[in-house]
Amino acid sequence: MVRINRVYTGTGDNGTSAFVDGSRHRKSHPRFVAVGTCDELNSIVGIIRRECASLPNHADGGNSASIGRIQKISAAALDRIQNELFDLGAELACVPENLPDYMQLISEQQCDSLTDEMDAWIEHLEPLTSFILPSGIGPEPIIHHARCVTRRLERSLIAIRDDSGEDAVRNEAIVYINRLSDWFFVFARWVTKNLGESEVLWTPLAKRQESSNVSGMIKKFHANEQDFDNLE
């Protein structure tokens, strides 16, 4: 059992911190970068959980079934994801050969769970005909943020391998993070559908109209304000 009596120790005041095996390294070490990114991602997942739980469940029954579906699925899935990210963060805080024997590591089972869930969601989604923009009135933009941070974590893992060799990060860890980013993407699309929203498609520059420039709109708003002031 973990027992934490105090948070501060003072041992990191000199810019170093300890791996799981007790060895100390500079806090700029690539492993600490990855661990920090993993922690950041876990915090974002916590925000997603809060946003999903806070979705309004309309009493008139309008979207109540869909909202309830989102809340139940997200509560169960994101709880598991947060625990798995904590497991992964502990693993990344040490070279693989020095990991303690008692530590449970992310395995193919966790990777397969992500794939199974994506397949289940995709059955109820329309195929994409264009790229989509991170948007929405609910938790979708935050889910896309999690997707982006997951990719940054993946790049950190590859950087560790580039620096220390292929054996510096287990294949299962990299596979898990690669699939997790895809998982967030599909999850965001599924949430969008269940909220009854339309996905915002990317419009290529060549097809965007000049009218997207809002300077004229801004000037009209201020002109109307001045006209109203002149009436007083």
Domain containing 42 — which CATH number?
Answer: 1.20.1200.10
223 in any annotated domain: no
Phi and psi angles of residue 40, each rounded to the nearest 5 degrees, phi first: -60, -45
Would 185 be classed as within a structural domain? yes
pLDDT at 162: 95
Q: How many domains does the chain have?
A: 1
State the CB neighbour count (10 A cutoff) for residue 160: 21
Q: What is the pTM of this model?
A: 0.85
On whether residue 20 sits in a domain, the answer given is yes
- Res 15: pLDDT: 67
Within-domain flag for 4: no
Is residue 225 in some structural domain? no
Evaluate whether residue 220 is within a structural domain.
no
User: What does the alpha-carbon distance between residue 191 and residue 69 come to, in Å, rounded to a whole number?
Assistant: 9
Residue 219: inside a domain, yes or no?
A: no
Q: Which domain holds residue 185?
A: 16-204
Per-residue pLDDT of the chain (232 residues; tens, 9 = 90+): 555 555 556 555 656 655 555 556 556 578 889 999 999 999 999 999 999 999 987 644 445 789 999 999 999 999 999 999 999 999 998 888 887 788 889 999 999 999 999 999 999 999 988 899 999 989 999 999 999 999 999 999 999 999 999 999 999 999 999 999 999 999 999 999 999 999 998 888 888 776 567 788 888 888 877 665 665 5
pLDDT at site 62: 47
Contact 146, 48 (CB under 8 A): yes
In a domain, 35, yes or no: yes
